[in-house]
Amino acid sequence: MDLFEINRIAHVIIGSFAFGGGIIALSTKKGSKIHKTGGWIFVFGMFYSSISTIIFMMEEFLPLAVLMGFATVYLLMSSIAALRHTRKSSYIIDRTILLIPILLFAFSFLQFIRILPEISLGAATRLLFALTFGILILKDIKLIRSKPEDHLFYVKRHAFRMILTFGFAVMAIIRIGIKIDFISLEMSTFAPLLVSLIVAFLVEKNINKFLKATS
């Protein structure tokens, strides 16, 4: 058994634990011990899964997998920074990692332009990725420019990004984990991203109701 095979097995096992941790974090009282435990399991598991995915690309390059890997790392880092927004390190992290969504937006939008004038789910998926990263860039710029002090702002920021990260985890499971053959590659990415983006906006808009519902 070579290192790639060991990494593949570890990726599946740790990724499964991460997904379970994500479900726990989303469904339990925010700020509780079990919520934090589930959240950290999700964070560390997704970090490993993202890095191992990038390692896999040394064997077989898949642009979508690389995009998802870097997007997940960015979302996790900014989610953690939101929780620790009073620390100077978070200030530095937010400004440093802004380059990641900018590059991912450019890559996704160029992929969308390249596929035109074709009108298909593939084109819609590329456009949705570009739109998602564009939204994240605007939110990051707003944070950097306004430096809000309201704690609820950072709770919203954390929730928005963690929900999107969970959406990326669902993408990986549908496409790689359980391999639902009748679902196309485009649908296995478009649907989870669209649903997670809608849910993230709804939670952000109704954050107080969401916190009350999970308390």
**How does pLDDT run across 23-80, given as a tens digit for each residue?**
888 888 877 888 888 889 989 989 888 888 777 766 666 777 788 888 999 999 999 9
**Rounded distance between C-alpha atoms, residue 23 and residue 95, angstroms:** 29
pLDDT of residue 181: 66
- Res 89 pLDDT > 90: no
**How does pLDDT run across 165-186, given as a tens digit for each residue?**
999 888 877 766 555 666 677 7
Per-residue pLDDT averaged across 101-126, rounded?
90
**How does pLDDT run across 7-26, given as a tens digit for each residue?**
777 777 888 888 888 888 88
Q: Is 95 within 8 Å of 85 (Cβ atoms)?
A: no
- Res 86 pLDDT > 80: yes
**Rounded distance between C-alpha atoms, residue 173 and residue 68, angstroms:** 12
Q: Is 73 within 8 Å of 100 (Cβ atoms)?
A: yes
**Rounded distance between C-alpha atoms, residue 70 and residue 100, angstroms:** 7
Neighbours of 154 (CB within 10 A): 20
If one compares 108 and 173, the residue with the highest pLDDT of the two is 108
- Res 145 pLDDT > 80: yes
